[in-house]
Structure 1
Amino acid sequence: MLMLLTGCGDRPQKSDVGPADGTAATQPEQPSGAAREIERRLADGAAGEPALPKTELADLQQLYQPGHHTPLWFDTSRKLTPAADQALALLGAAAAEGLDPAEYGAEALATQVRSMKEARQPVDADVASLDLALSRATLRYLRHLHAGRIDPKTVGFQMPAKAAETDFAAALRPALEKQRLEDAVAQLRPPLEQYRSLRAMLARYRTLASQPAPAPLPAVPRELKPGEAYSGAPALRERLVLLGDLPVDTPPLADGGRYDGALVDGVKKFQARHGLPAEGVLGKGTVAALNVPLDRRVRQIELALERLRWFPHLENRPFVGINIPMYRLWAGGPQALDGRTALDMDVIVGGALDTETPAMVEEMRYVVFSPYWNVPTSIVRKEILPALARDPQYLVKHEMELVRGGGDDAAPVEATPENLEQLAQGQLRVRQRPGQKNSLGPAKFIFPNDDSVYLHGTPAQQLFDRSRRDLSHGCVRLENPLALAQWVLRDQPEWTKERIEAAMGGGEQVKVDLKQPVQVLLFYITAMVAPEDGALHFADDIYGHDKKLDQALAERRT
């Protein structure tokens, strides 16, 4: 699964501030005039127009170390090195990474480089200006490539500050000395197979979006079942071939006005990739998804790449990942998100209106079998107290009890009118006893976090039949808690399947600490190459996070 998310590769740490390892020749000393000009501008903070953010100025000052301000992109004869052309190619192709070449002044830099190459005797100020401009743009590109353009906290994602722990100058300096900028790119590009897969899909969908847009498919007045007439059948075949849901060599339709045969199979594949019931029924939702402009799909992929750049360094150990808008969980080793999964399953996540499941990276530390459910105060206030007003037997019917004080060993008290008044005042709480009616199902999986979110089972298995599953109060409900329990306890042989099943149905709460914590990543991307089939899947932006990120990126350009 992590392959979906992780891969190999080390990034330079902030402590890595020394020069290269000596495998390349040291830059010869340059004319002192350009060096002094670079030193002066860096000291004055005037290394860019408009003024650089403090982080980018610090990157530049780190790159041109004190006492070593000789130009980095020129040789001893004041000729631009091959690295300058490499930088232009890199910045000009930034869109391949889902980045914007305009953010790095790619066109203006290309003009400056051409002018410099034509100059017979470039002056010190021009050499310093171009050298700093190339350094500034390349460092910015590397920072964006590695950690993203937007601070995730500004758009509601509590991810660690990835860029703060990375020394971008330490990656660029040896690449310049070796005249191999691709070395720095390889070091700082997100080492996730999912990133590489989405990057390839971005190129494919950009090509598709550049072609003349096909006419929208005709609307369907009602759901069409296989075998029924549909005037848009020929156009539907073309659309499915274009998107890869039908093979290119699919024979022409025997009956051009009928929805059947290969068309149904192609629609089922398309539906599975777009979070729709893969039943082959052609309804309004499926036609609407087929008619989504391809440039919008391109944007979904670009936004997914941006969020993947926010991911912290994921260690080479077991991992559980949940993509919130796709209602899907994967578990396995470091490559679990890349197709090498130990298990995968459907999940239910928090509701889109006011109980969203937050994105986070945490450590799963223990499992609780046959858990009590300590009902949150908000649910007591909004749901249980009104239910008790209608039915005084509500607690009994749902195997709930009133308790005083914290902890699972708190003693229950009678549901008298006086105690119900104390419940309304927040002096008592409600918990649900272990059992078949328990809202947490047979197990919960705990990764301590500030939002009190965890994974758990559910007695309402019928909800997994729905295609849209943002139905919980914020926690994540599991389709198969037994399978996840077996996997997280696989290195604790005393916990056999039979013992786990007995603990799940025993009626007494049992806590099991994990000998090795498991990484848990709750993430949010609406375009993803799914590990189970290797196909590109799209999801609805159920929480509006894509819209917020798109707006934040647009504001950078204004």
Structure 2
Amino acid sequence: MRRRELLAGAAAALGAPALRAAEAMPGWSDALQREARSILDGAASEGLDPADYREGPVEAAFARYLHDLHLGRVRARDLGFGVTVPVQDGALVTQALQEAVAAGRLANAVERLTPPLAQYRQLREMLARYRRLASAPTPVTLQAQLVAFGDLAPETDVSDEAVKRFQARHGLEADGVIGRATTAALAVPPARRVRQIELAMERLRWLPQRSGRPLIAINIPMFRLWAWNADAAEASPALAMNVIVGRAMRTQTPVFADEMTHLIFRPYWNVPRSILQNEVLPAMERDPGYLARHDMEMVPGADGGAPRVRQRPGPKNSLGLVKFIFPNDADVYLHGTPARELFARSRRDFSHGCVRVADPPALALWLLKDQPAWTREAIEAAMNGTRTQQVNLSAPVPVLLYYLTALVSPDDGLLHFADDLYGHDAALERRLAARRR
């Protein structure tokens, strides 16, 4: 295939500016071509496939590699994810390539365009480790497996603590018992874990860089929330807690980013139409006293519309005693819950799409830390008072709901794996495979 045709074939992935830049570049020196080929041959270390960059002029292949490394091979929005990389990042790929060629060192562009998140670097290290496990003989004993995975020290007998550590890292109940779920997790081939890490690295390329502002992040399949103070290291969250997310089969929590603006103490719960039709109305037909027993009431609809049902504030309210609002099209928010027992489950997809948090007072205290009047005592009083009260944040706080089934947890610095709760890994696998056809 001619050079022009190969460059045109890369246009869809690279975009017009990068394509024009690649076309305009003079022939690379032998040294640059050797460096480019060496970097492309090592693409697997970044969770990419070296085979994707073996055809065509090395200039175009290398430009495509930089694009994939920095922005990802698949666009988040094509999978229904509401996180987008700023448009100017595409121009950054072109600029970094041009400057690296001018400097005679292509590694400059790689260093500049590698995702800056510490999580990405940590997963890259774990990817190398699990590739070594995948290429080694399969351990035949439980002791050998736990040693290989790093849950047991070499030449040490199997202990409950080692088993519990393995279970905790794989989203299982950490009871030290080798039951069906633990046996299944032990049987997952390291090659499959390699793929989970690669998919997680791909998704990290979609995320915006840290802005130096406070941040709340929720990893949906691990049912976990972390909050960071401004400029805090990724390994040092100020707050961490379990969460409950949307049901896998019917009411999945969406993946997106937005900004929290306010919270409401003692909120009303306006029952969504779908829940009203599918759950509340059938329950009212079976039990005429259903509304009264659940502190619910009928109220007029907006602008003379159909009456609606809402639940009054209080300990029975499905939102708990506080909800945290980041306005979005999906009408998803964070809130408390009276169903405290569900947080003890290892799998926690029980909601209708919103996210229930295990410690609402702690989250409220963190969000209001720059408003001295809102002490822990004041927050508890507002939650247990007699009126509904909105409190605006002094500045919006970014909120990220994301989806990684492989993660070096900020809680313990260990590599954790989760089940593909919503099938997003499988969907990304299919999209990546379709690119190669």
Q: Deviations over 1:522-546 (max 9, x none)?
A: 0000000000100000001010110
Amino acid at match of 1:504: M
Shift of residue 458, structure 1, vs aligned partner: 0.3
Amino acid at match of 2:121: R
Match of 2:170 among 262, 270, 274: 274
Matches within 5 A, 1:542-557: 542-557=421-436
Aligned partners of 1:143 and 1:163 also within 8 Å: no
Shift of residue 434, structure 1, vs aligned partner: 0.7
- The reply to whether residue 263 of structure 1 matches residue 169 of structure 2 is no
Match of 1:402 among 298, 310, 313: 298
Evaluate the alpha carbon distance shift between residue 336 and residue 405 of structure 1 in structure 2; reply closer, same or farther with a 3 A threshold.
farther
Query: Secondary structure at 2:7's aligned position in 1?
Result: coil
Instruction: Name the stretch that deviates more: 196-205 or 50-59.
Output: 50-59
- The reply to whether residue 346 of structure 1 matches residue 346 of structure 2 is no
Amino acid at match of 2:109: A
CA distance in structure 1 between the partners assigned to 2:123 and 2:37 by the alignment: 24
Name the counterpart of 2:20: 61
Name the counterpart of 2:415: 536
Name the counterpart of 2:134: 209
Match of 2:26 among 53, 68, 71: 71
CA distance in structure 2 between the partners assigned to 1:334 and 1:141 by the alignment: 32
Shift of residue 265, structure 1, vs aligned partner: 1.3
- The reply to whether residue 385 of structure 1 matches residue 291 of structure 2 is no
Shift of residue 333, structure 1, vs aligned partner: 2.7
Name the counterpart of 2:396: 517
Name the counterpart of 2:69: 145
- The reply to whether residue 320 of structure 1 matches residue 216 of structure 2 is yes
CA distance in structure 1 between the partners assigned to 2:416 and 2:25 by the alignment: 49
Aligned partners of 2:10 and 2:60 also within 8 Å: no
CA distance in structure 1 between the partners assigned to 2:109 and 2:215 by the alignment: 28
Match of 1:90 among 39, 50, 61: 39
Amino acid at match of 1:539: A
Q: Deviations over 1:300-331 (max 9, x none)?
A: 00000000011123311100000000000000
Shift of residue 376, structure 1, vs aligned partner: 0.5
Q: Deviations over 1:217-263 (max 9, x none)?
A: xxxxxxxxxxxxxxxxxx1111101110001141xx4xxxxxxxx42
CA distance in structure 2 between the partners assigned to 1:52 and 1:175 by the alignment: 21
CA distance in structure 1 between the partners assigned to 2:66 and 2:404 by the alignment: 22
Shift of residue 49, structure 1, vs aligned partner: 6.6
Aligned partners of 1:56 and 1:139 also within 8 Å: no
Matches within 5 A, 1:76-475: 80=30, 82-105=31-54, 133-162=57-86, 165-167=89-91, 168-215=93-140, 235-250=141-156, 253=157, 262-333=158-229, 338-406=234-302, 427-475=306-354
CA distance in structure 2 between the partners assigned to 1:263 and 1:72 by the alignment: 61
CA distance in structure 1 between the partners assigned to 2:333 and 2:191 by the alignment: 36
Shift of residue 72, structure 1, vs aligned partner: 4.7
CA distance in structure 1 between the partners assigned to 2:345 and 2:43 by the alignment: 39
Shift of residue 160, structure 1, vs aligned partner: 1.7
Shift of residue 367, structure 1, vs aligned partner: 0.6
Q: Deviations over 1:315-355 (max 9, x none)?
A: 11100000000000000135667211101000000000110
CA distance in structure 2 between the partners assigned to 1:316 and 1:324 by the alignment: 23
CA distance in structure 2 between the partners assigned to 1:378 and 1:141 by the alignment: 45
Shift of residue 102, structure 1, vs aligned partner: 1.0
Evaluate the alpha carbon distance shift between residue 452 and residue 49 of structure 1 in structure 2; reply closer, same or farther with a 3 A threshold.
closer
Shift of residue 55, structure 1, vs aligned partner: 4.0
Query: Secondary structure at 2:17's aligned position in 1?
Result: helix
Aligned partners of 1:159 and 1:361 also within 8 Å: yes
CA distance in structure 2 between the partners assigned to 1:203 and 1:475 by the alignment: 36
- Tell which structure's C-alpha radius of gyration is larger: 1
CA distance in structure 2 between the partners assigned to 1:554 and 1:432 by the alignment: 47
CA distance in structure 2 between the partners assigned to 1:368 and 1:49 by the alignment: 54
**Consecutive unaligned residues in structure 2, runs of 5 or more:** none
Query: Secondary structure at 2:404's aligned position in 1?
Result: coil
Query: Secondary structure at 2:195's aligned position in 1?
Result: helix
Amino acid at match of 2:250: D
**Consecutive unaligned residues in structure 1, runs of 5 or more:** 1-37, 75-79, 110-132, 216-234, 254-261, 408-421
Query: Secondary structure at 1:271's aligned position in 2?
Result: helix
Evaluate the alpha carbon distance shift between residue 335 and residue 196 of structure 1 in structure 2; reply closer, same or farther with a 3 A threshold.
farther
Shift of residue 495, structure 1, vs aligned partner: 1.1
Q: How many residues align?
A: 435
CA distance in structure 2 between the partners assigned to 1:100 and 1:287 by the alignment: 31
Name the counterpart of 2:361: 482
Shift of residue 60, structure 1, vs aligned partner: 2.5
Evaluate the alpha carbon distance shift between residue 187 and residue 170 of structure 1 in structure 2; reply closer, same or farther with a 3 A threshold.
same
Aligned partners of 2:40 and 2:53 also within 8 Å: yes
Aligned residues: CA RMSD:
2.0
Query: Secondary structure at 1:138's aligned position in 2?
Result: helix
